[in-house]
C-alpha cells in the first residue's frame, strides 16, 4: 500500500480528523511549553505533528460497495458485537444500506452471533452473516463456528482486520490486527480469503457464498480489510459477479444401481440418517424410499429427516426405548453421523480397558451415501472412525435419492414387492406397540417434583399442538420425549443439535432460528438446558431488543448433568463411590433465578415452577406473550434428564 | 428393547440365585431415599425412579430385594457399573430397595394428557 502524508478521508475520516485536530491543539500547547524548556523536546514534538488532512465528505467509502455486494446475495441479517476493525462496514450497513438486507443484530458476544447464524440457517436454508474482529472477536466466535462446521451448516463470517501498519491507530488496533486472520479457524471452515481490493472482495464474497451453499454446507470466512472499508472507493467501477448456485454433487450412477440391488435383495434393510434432509424435499424423498422398501428409518436426529408418526420411523438411535439395527442385513447410511459408533459396541466408560465388537449380524452389508468425503480436514477429528462399508457413494444423499428411488422402482419385481409389504406390516405393528410402551413410560413420575421431562414435554405439546410450531432445541437433553410424543412432520419443526457438541449453542441458535421463523409466523419453542444458557445469556437481551418471538422453557436441572455422569463413571471405575460427583458439576448454592434473569434482559419471565400442576397455565401465559411478538421464558425445575 | 429387558431380568435372576442364602434385610425407606440421592442413583434412574437414557426404570420394579442387591453387585455388561459393598453395604442397598418400593404408581395413561 503506497504511503502518503496526504490521505483523502470520507465522513468517518472527517470525524477522525476532527478528533486528531483537537488532539493536535493540545499537542501544540504542550509543544509551546516544551519550547520554553528547550529545543530538543520542541524538535521532537514538531516531528510528530499531524500531517495535513484533506476532508472529502462526498466520497463513498469502500464499505458502501461491500454492502452492495452483501445485498446482491440476499443476506437478510448480520449479527455482530460491535468492533472497531469493522466500524466502516458497520456504519455502511446501518446508513448507506438502510439497515435492511442485511439488518444489523446487536449481540453481546461473538459466540452468540455465530450460533444465531447457525440456528437461522437451519430454518431458512441459507446463510446469515456475522462480523467480528479478526483477533479477539474470532477467538470468542470460534467454538460456535466449529459447531456450525461440524453440523454442515453454511455461515458467512466477515472479519475486520487492518493489514497495513500505516492505518493502525494506537495499541488496540495493533492488538486487533493479524497477518492471517482466518488461520485461527481454518481447520473448521470450508474456505477463506483476504481480498486486497474491492473487486477482489466482491468476487471472494460471491465465491464464498457459493462454496458455503454447495454440499457439504459449511462456514466460510472473508476478511474485510480496514483500509478497504474506510478509504474512498478508488477502483473504477468494481463489479459484483453474478451468483450461480452449484448443483449439489450426486453419487455415481453405477454405484447407485448397485445400492438398489443390495437393498432389494435384503430381507431386512434399515436406513440410518443424521443430516439427510437439507431441504423439505429431503423428507419427501426419504419417505418415498422407505415406503418402497418398507425399511425402518433410524434417525440420529441432526435434522428433521422423517415424520415421527410414520409407521416406519424407528426413532432416535440413542433412545433405549427404540429398536437397534442389529437385525438388519443391509444398512443404508444417508449422511449418517459417526457410523462406526452406530455399528459397534465399545467397553463402557465405567469399566477399564477397551474392547470393541460389531453390533451388526454376520454378513450384513453397509452402504454409505455422503458428501462429507468432499471436504475432509485433518486436524479436528469430526469425521469419525473409518468404517469398512461394502459400498461407499460420495455425493450428497438428498441429491442422490431421486436416482436411487428410480433404480429401486426399476429393479423391483412382483415377488419382492409382496415380501416387502409383509415386512412393512410387521414393522408397523411393532411401532404401534412401542408407542404404547412409550406412553406408559411417560406417565411414570407424572406428579413428581422436580418435574419429569416427560411431563414437561407432554404439557408443552398440549398447548402447542394446534399451532404452527417449530422446536429449535436438542431433544436429547429431555430424553427424546419430544420425538417420542410429538408429531413432527415438517422440515422446520426440528433442527437438530450443536454439531460438535459444544455447549453454549442452545440459546443463541434458538434465537437465530426464531428470527428465521418470525416472518413465517411460526411459534418457536426452545427447551433450554440451564448449563447452556449460562455461557452467554446476553442473547436473551438480543431477542428482547430485536423483538424476536421465542418461547424458552427452561430444562433447569441445576447441573451440568452430562458431565456429572461422566465424573460418576470415573468414580465407578475406581470403586470409590460417587457421592462427590456434584462437586464442579452442580449449578446450585445459590440456585439461579432464570425468570429474574429474563426480566433483567427485558423480557417476560415466569418461575421457577416446581409443581407440575402450575405448568399448563405458565406455558399458556408464555405463548400469549410470544404471539404478541416478544420472547418469553418459563423457568421449570426439572428432573436430571 | 424387549430383548434387552428380558436379558436384564434373566441376569438379575441368575445373580439372585448366586446369592442364595442371603437373608432378606429390613430396609429403611427414609435412609434409602437419602442414599439414593447421596450415592447419585438418581443421576441415571431419575429422582422418581422413572428411568432415562442412561438408566432403567426402577419405580414399580418387579425385582425382589435379593435379586435387586445381586444385580447392583453384578449388573449386565455394557450398562450400569457394579457397586461393591465398599461403596454400599447390603443393608444400605436394602434401604434403597425399600425406598424404591415406596415410589407411587403412575396414573392411568388415559387419565393424563399424554399424546
DSSP, residue by residue, A260-276? HHHHHH-SSEEEEESS-
For a pLDDT cut of 70, what percent of chain A falls above it? 91
Most confident of A56-65, B1-10, B47-56: B47-56
Mean pLDDT of the region A486-513: 97
Does residue A436 register a pLDDT over 90? yes
Q: Does B114 sit within 8 Å of A458, measured CB to CB?
A: yes
The residue ranges of every structural domain in chain B are: 2-104
Chain A residues with CB under 8 Å of B82 CB are 572
Chain A residues with CB under 8 Å of B51 CB are 441, 444
Confidence of residue A569 (pLDDT cuts 50, 70, 90): confident
- CA A509, A499, A529: angle at the middle one, nearest 5? 50
CA dist A222 to A70, A78, A217, B7, Å?
12, 14, 16, 56
Q: Is A324 helix (H, G, I), strand (E, B) or coil?
A: coil
- The highest-level CATH class for domain B2-104 is mainly alpha
CA dist A145 to A137, A139, A484, A512, A636, Å?
12, 10, 30, 14, 30
Instruction: Average the pLDDT over each of A152-166, A385-399, A587-601, B16-30 and give the range with the smallest value.
Output: B16-30
Task: Please give the Cα distance from A533 to A465 (Å, whole number).
Answer: 26
- Closest by Cβ to B40, choosing from A444, A459, A579: A579
What is the number of CB-based contacts under 8 A between chain A and chain B?
Answer: 125
Task: Please give the Cα distance from A609 to A537 (Å, whole number).
Answer: 20
Task: Please give the Cα distance from A427 to A312 (Å, whole number).
Answer: 7
Does residue A41 register a pLDDT over 70? no
Cα radius of gyration rounded to whole Å, chain A: 28
Task: Please give the Cα distance from A43 to A41 (Å, whole number).
Answer: 5
A388 and A332 housed in the same domain: yes
Residue B23 has a pLDDT of 65
A283 and A140 housed in the same domain: no
CA dist A125 to A177, A244, A438, Å?
33, 16, 33
Residue A324 has a pLDDT of 87
| Owner of C-alpha cell 437393498 | A263
A377 and A493 housed in the same domain: no
Q: What residue of B is the nearest CA neighbor of A461?
A: B115
Task: Please give the Cα distance from A228 to A607 (Å, whole number).
Answer: 50
Domain assignment present for A437: no
Task: Please give the Cα distance from A471 to A467 (Å, whole number).
Answer: 12
Chain A residues with CB under 8 Å of B50 CB are 441, 444-445, 448, 452, 454, 639
The answer to whether B76 faces chain A, any CB pair under 8 Å, is no
Question: Would the ipTM clear 0.90, i.e. be above it?
Answer: no
Q: Does A639 sit within 8 Å of B46, measured CB to CB?
A: yes
Confidence of residue B79 (pLDDT cuts 50, 70, 90): confident
Domain assignment present for A248: no
Chain A residues with CB under 8 Å of B47 CB are 445, 448, 450, 639-640
Chain B residues with CB under 8 Å of A487 CB are 115
Q: What residue of B is the nearest CA neighbor of A355?
A: B78
Confidence of residue A375 (pLDDT cuts 50, 70, 90): confident
Q: Is A364 helix (H, G, I), strand (E, B) or coil?
A: coil
Of A247, A301, A252, the closest CA to residue A277 belongs to: A301
Q: What is the DSSP letter of A361?
A: P
CA dist A421 to A294, A417, A429, Å?
7, 6, 13
Q: Is residue A523 a contact partner of residue A469, using CB atoms and an 8 Å limit? A: yes
| Consecutive H or E run containing A333 | strand A330-334
Task: Please give the Cα distance from A622 to A559 (Å, whole number).
Answer: 24
Domain assignment present for A287: yes
Does residue A493 register a pLDDT over 70? yes
Number of domains in chain A: 4
A214 and A268 housed in the same domain: no
Interface of A with B in 316-355 (CB under 8 A): 318-323, 345, 348, 350-351
Residue A171 has a pLDDT of 92
For residue A19, the tally of other CB atoms under 10 A from its CB is: 10
Mutate to test the interface with B, among A445, A483, A610 (most CBs of B within 10 A): A445
Q: What is the DSSP letter of B23?
A: P
Q: Does A321 sit within 8 Å of B50, measured CB to CB?
A: no
Domain assignment present for A136: yes
Does residue A276 register a pLDDT over 80? yes
Q: Please, what's the b/e burial string for A451-474 (b: 16 or more CB within 10 A of its CB; e: otherwise)?
A: bbbbbbbbbbbbbbeeeebbbbbb
For residue A249, the tally of other CB atoms under 10 A from its CB is: 15
Chain B residues with CB under 8 Å of A640 CB are 42-43, 46-47, 52
Q: What residue of B is the nearest CA neighbor of A638?
A: B47
Task: Please give the Cα distance from A511 to A49 (Å, whole number).
Answer: 50
The answer to whether A270 faces chain B, any CB pair under 8 Å, is no
A290 and A332 housed in the same domain: yes
Q: What residue of B is the nearest CA neighbor of A350?
A: B81
pLDDT digits over A332-360, tens only?
999 999 999 999 999 888 888 899 999 99
- CATH number of the domain at A80, please: 3.40.50.970
| Long-range contacts from A617-621, C-beta under 8 angstroms, 24+ separation | A619/A459, A619/A460, A619/A463, A619/A551, A619/A553, A620/A463
Residue A576 has a pLDDT of 85
Q: What residue of B is the nearest CA neighbor of A453?
A: B52
A180 and A298 housed in the same domain: no
Domain that holds residue A462: 444-637
For residue A124, the tally of other CB atoms under 10 A from its CB is: 19
Domain assignment present for A436: no
How many Å lie between the alpha carbon of B15 and the closest alpha carbon of chain A?
19
CA dist A153 to A121, A167, A184, A363, A500, Å?
7, 35, 19, 35, 12
A350 and A208 housed in the same domain: no
Instruction: Average the pLDDT over each of A250-259, A326-335, A562-571, A632-641 and give the range with the smallest value.
Output: A562-571
The answer to whether A94 faces chain B, any CB pair under 8 Å, is no
Confidence of residue A54 (pLDDT cuts 50, 70, 90): low
Does residue A23 register a pLDDT over 50? no
Q: Does A445 sit within 8 Å of B46, measured CB to CB?
A: yes
Q: Does B49 sit within 8 Å of A323, measured CB to CB?
A: no
Give me the sign of the Cα torsion angle A539, A540, A543, A545: negative
Cell numbers standing for residue A197: 481490493
Q: Does A641 sit within 8 Å of B112, measured CB to CB?
A: no
Interface of B with A in 18-57 (CB under 8 A): 38-40, 42-44, 46-54, 57
Instruction: Average the pLDDT over each of A37-51, A293-307, A521-535 and give the range with the smallest value.
Output: A37-51
Q: Does A573 sit within 8 Å of B109, measured CB to CB?
A: no
A284 and A420 housed in the same domain: yes
Mean pLDDT of the region B31-58: 93
Task: Please give the Cα distance from B77 to A237 (Å, whole number).
Answer: 71
The answer to whether A452 faces chain B, any CB pair under 8 Å, is yes
| Consecutive H or E run containing A193 | strand A191-193
Mean pLDDT of the region A559-584: 90
- Could you say which of A230, A264, A282 is where a domain stops? A230
Contact partners, residue A93, CB within 8 Å, separation at least 6: A67, A70, A78, A99, A102, A104
Q: What residue of B is the nearest CA neighbor of A485?
A: B115
Confidence of residue A632 (pLDDT cuts 50, 70, 90): very high
CA dist A536 to A473, A539, A550, Å?
16, 6, 17
For a pLDDT cut of 70, what percent of chain B falls above it? 80
Task: Please give the Cα distance from B41 to A182 (Å, whole number).
Answer: 47
Residue A607 has a pLDDT of 96
Mean pLDDT of the region A131-154: 98
Q: Is residue A604 a contact partner of residue A622, using CB atoms and an 8 Å limit? A: yes
CA max distance for chain A: 108
Confidence of residue A572 (pLDDT cuts 50, 70, 90): confident
pTM of the model: 0.90
Confidence of residue A517 (pLDDT cuts 50, 70, 90): very high
A184 and A272 housed in the same domain: no
CA dist A79 to A95, A595, B20, B73, Å?
16, 25, 67, 54
Q: Does A577 sit within 8 Å of B1, measured CB to CB?
A: no
Amino acid at each position: 500500500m503506497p504511503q502518503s502524508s496526504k490521505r483523502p478521508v470520507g465522513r468517518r475520516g472527517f470525524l477522525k480528523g476532527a478528533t486528531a485536530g483537537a488532539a493536535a491543539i493540545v499537542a501544540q500547547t504542550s509543544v509551546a511549553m516544551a519550547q520554553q524548556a528547550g529545543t530538543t523536546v520542541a524538535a521532537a514534538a514538531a516531528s510528530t505533528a499531524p500531517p495535513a488532512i484533506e476532508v472529502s465528505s462526498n466520497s463513498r467509502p469502500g464499505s458502501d460497495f461491500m454492502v452492495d455486494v452483501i445485498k446482491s446475495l440476499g443476506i437478510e441479517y448480520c449479527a455482530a458485537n460491535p468492533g472497531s476493525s469493522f466500524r466502516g462496514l458497520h456504519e455502511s450497513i446501518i446508513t448507506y444500506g438502510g439497515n435492511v438486507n442485511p439488518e444489523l443484530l446487536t449481540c453481546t458476544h461473538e459466540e452468540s452471533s455465530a450460533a444465531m447464524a447457525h440456528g437461522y440457517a437451519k430454518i431458512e436454508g441459507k446463510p446469515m452473516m456475522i462480523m467480528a474482529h479478526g483477533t479477539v472477536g474470532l477467538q470468542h466466535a470460534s467454538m460456535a463456528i466449529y459447531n456450525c462446521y461440524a453440523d454442515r451448516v453454511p455461515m458467512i463470517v466477515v472479519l475486520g482486520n487492518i493489514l497495513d501498519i500505516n492505518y493502525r491507530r494506537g495499541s488496540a488496533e495493533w492488538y486487533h490486527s493479524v497477518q492471517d486472520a482466518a488461520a485461527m479457524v481454518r481447520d473448521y471452515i470450508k474456505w477463506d480469503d483476504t481480498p486486497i481490493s474491492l473487486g477482489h472482495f466482491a468476487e471472494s464474497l460471491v465465491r464464498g457464498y457459493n462454496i458455503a451453499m454447495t454440499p457439504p454446507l459449511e462456514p466460510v470466512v472473508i476478511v474485510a480489510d480496514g483500509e478497504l472499508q474506510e478509504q474512498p472507493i478508488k477502483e473504477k467501477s468494481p463489479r459484483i459477479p453474478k451468483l450461480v448456485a452449484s448443483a449439489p454433487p450426486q453419487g455415481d450412477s453405477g454405484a447407485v444401481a448397485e445400492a438398489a440391488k443390495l437393498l432389494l435383495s435384503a430381507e431386512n434393510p434399515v436406513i440410518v440418517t443424521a443430516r439427510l434432509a437439507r431441504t423439505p424435499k429431503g423428507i419427501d424423498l426419504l419417505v418415498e424410499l422407505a415406503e418402497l422398501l418398507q425399511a425402518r428409518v433410524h434417525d440420529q436426529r441432526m435434522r428433521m429427516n422423517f415424520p415421527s408418526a410414520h409407521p416406519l420411523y424407528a426413532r432416535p438411535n440413542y433412545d433405549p426405548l427404540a429398536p437397534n439395527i442389529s437385525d438388519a442385513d443391509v444398512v443404508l447410511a444417508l449422511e449418517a453421523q459417526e457410523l462406526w459408533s452406530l455399528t459397534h459396541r465399545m467397553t463402557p466408560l465405567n469399566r477399564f480397558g477397551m474392547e470393541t465388537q460389531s453390533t451388526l449380524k454376520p454378513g450384513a452389508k453397509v452402504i454409505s451415501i455422503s458428501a462429507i468425503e468432499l471436504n475432509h480436514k485433518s486436524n479436528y477429528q469430526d469425521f469419525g472412525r473409518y468404517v469398512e462399508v461394502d459400498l461407499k457413494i460420495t455425493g450428497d444423499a438428498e441429491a442422490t435419492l431421486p436416482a436411487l428411488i428410480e433404480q429401486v422402482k426399476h429393479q423391483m419385481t412382483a415377488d419382492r414387492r409382496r415380501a416387502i409389504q409383509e415386512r412393512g406390516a410387521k414393522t408397523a405393528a411393532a411401532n404401534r406397540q412401542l408407542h404404547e410402551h412409550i406412553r406408559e413410560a411417560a406417565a411414570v413420575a407424572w406428579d413428581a417434583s422436580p418435574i419429569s421431562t416427560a411431563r414437561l414435554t407432554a404439557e408443552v405439546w398440549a398447548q402447542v399442538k394446534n399451532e404452527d410450531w417449530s422446536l429449535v432445541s436438542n431433544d436429547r437433553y429431555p430424553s427424546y420425549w419430544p420425538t417420542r410424543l410429538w408429531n413432527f412432520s415438517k422440515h422446520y419443526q426440528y433442527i437438530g443439535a450443536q454439531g460438535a457438541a459444544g455447549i453454549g449453542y442452545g440459546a443463541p441458535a434458538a434465537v437465530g432460528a426464531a428470527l428465521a421463523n418470525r416472518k413465517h409466523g411460526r411459534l418457536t419453542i426452545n427447551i433450554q438446558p440451564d448449563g447452556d444458557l449460562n455461557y452467554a445469556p446476553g442473547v436473551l437481551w438480543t431477542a428482547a431488543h430485536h423483538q424476536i418471538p421465542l418461547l424458552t422453557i427452561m430444562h433447569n436441572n441445576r447441573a451440568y448433568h452430562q458431565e456429572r455422569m461422566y465424573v460418576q463413571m470415573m468414580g465407578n471405575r475406581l470403586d470409590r463411590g460417587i457421592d462427590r460427583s456434584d462437586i464442579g458439576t452442580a449449578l446450585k448454592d445459590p440456585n439461579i433465578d432464570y425468570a429474574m434473569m429474563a426480566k433483567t434482559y427485558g423480557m417476560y419471565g415466569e418461575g421457577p415452577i416446581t409443581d407440575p400442576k402450575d405448568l399448563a397455565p405458565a406455558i399458556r401465559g408464555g405463548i400469549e406473550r410470544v404471539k404478541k411478538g416478544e420472547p418469553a421464558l418459563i423457568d421449570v425445575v426439572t428432573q436430571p434428564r | 428393547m424387549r430383548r434387552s429387558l428380558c436379558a436384564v431380568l434373566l441376569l438379575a435372576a441368575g445373580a439372585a440365585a448366586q446369592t442364595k442364602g442371603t437373608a432378606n434385610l429390613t430396609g429403611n425407606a427414609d435412609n434409602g431415599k437419602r442414599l439414593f440421592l447421596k450415592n447419585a442413583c438418581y443421576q441415571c434412574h431419575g429422582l422418581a425412579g422413572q428411568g432415562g437414557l442412561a438408566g432403567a426404570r426402577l419405580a414399580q420394579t418387579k425385582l425382589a430385594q435379593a435379586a435387586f442387591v445381586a444385580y447392583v453387585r453384578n449388573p449386565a455388561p455394557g450398562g450400569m457399573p457394579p457397586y461393591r459393598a465398599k461403596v454400599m453395604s447390603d443393608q444400605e442397598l436394602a434401604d434403597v430397595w425399600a425406598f424404591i418400593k415406596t415410589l407411587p404408581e403412575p396414573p392411568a395413561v388415559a387419565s393424563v394428557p399424554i399424546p
